[in-house]
Amino acid sequence: MDARLNYFAGPVDSKAFKYLMSTGKAIKELPLPAATQELVALRVSQINGCAVCVDMHSKEAAAAGETPVRLHLVAAWREATVFTEAERAALELAEQGTRIADAAGGVTDEAWADAAKHYDEEQLTALVVLVSFMNTVNRLNVITRQPAGNYEAGQFH
């Protein structure tokens, strides 16, 4: 399968994509645990059907020491016992923030309050920025049918 667009090919494409990539790198430095970042990125990408991001974030998480069991259970995290309460709160916020069109109210007060029990304001900001960023890149990749399977951990670092 070939992508509809190569983001690195044209001068306009590569310039815009360069800034997007730098945003992704900056998010990695925000004060949200790395494991939580990868789990959230993976779950948002699963919901949006972004194969290239599922590929990327599952491999990055594995390279960082995430267990196969946890990676396999992200899609069914509510029934899984392998996630902390903080991770569960982050995953709930990520799902509600991703499914805004499906849930007329957006993120519920309960989901926000639960996340706020586990994360301070700086971490909540990081979580919201991460969810928003992932939704953006997922859409770019899904619209242009970016192929998945060839990503190598650390490729964009």
Mean pLDDT, the chain, whole residue set: 91
User: In one letter, which amino acid is 143?
Assistant: I
In a domain, 99, yes or no: yes
d(CA 65, CA 50): 23
pLDDT category at 17 given cuts 50, 70, 90 is: confident
**Closest-CA residue to 121 (of 27, 31, 26, 39):** 31
In a domain, 20, yes or no: no
At residue 85, the pLDDT reads: 98
Count how many domains the chain has.
Answer: 1
Number of Cβ atoms within 10 Å of the Cβ of 156: 12
Say if residue 106's pLDDT is above 70.
yes
Q: Report pLDDT digits (tens) over 135-148.
A: 999 999 999 998 88
Averaged pLDDT for residues 113-118: 98
CATH number at residue 106: 1.20.1290.10
At residue 13, the pLDDT reads: 64
Say if residue 150's pLDDT is above 90.
no
- Give the residue numbers spanning the domain of 98: 77-147
In a domain, 7, yes or no: no
At residue 140, the pLDDT reads: 92
At residue 15, the pLDDT reads: 75
Q: What is the pTM of this model?
A: 0.91
In a domain, 37, yes or no: no
In a domain, 110, yes or no: yes
In a domain, 97, yes or no: yes
In a domain, 154, yes or no: no
In a domain, 90, yes or no: yes
At residue 12, the pLDDT reads: 66
Averaged pLDDT for residues 68-74: 96
Burial of residue 12 (number of CB atoms within 10 Å: 0-12, 13-18, 19+):
exposed
Say if residue 45's pLDDT is above 90.
yes
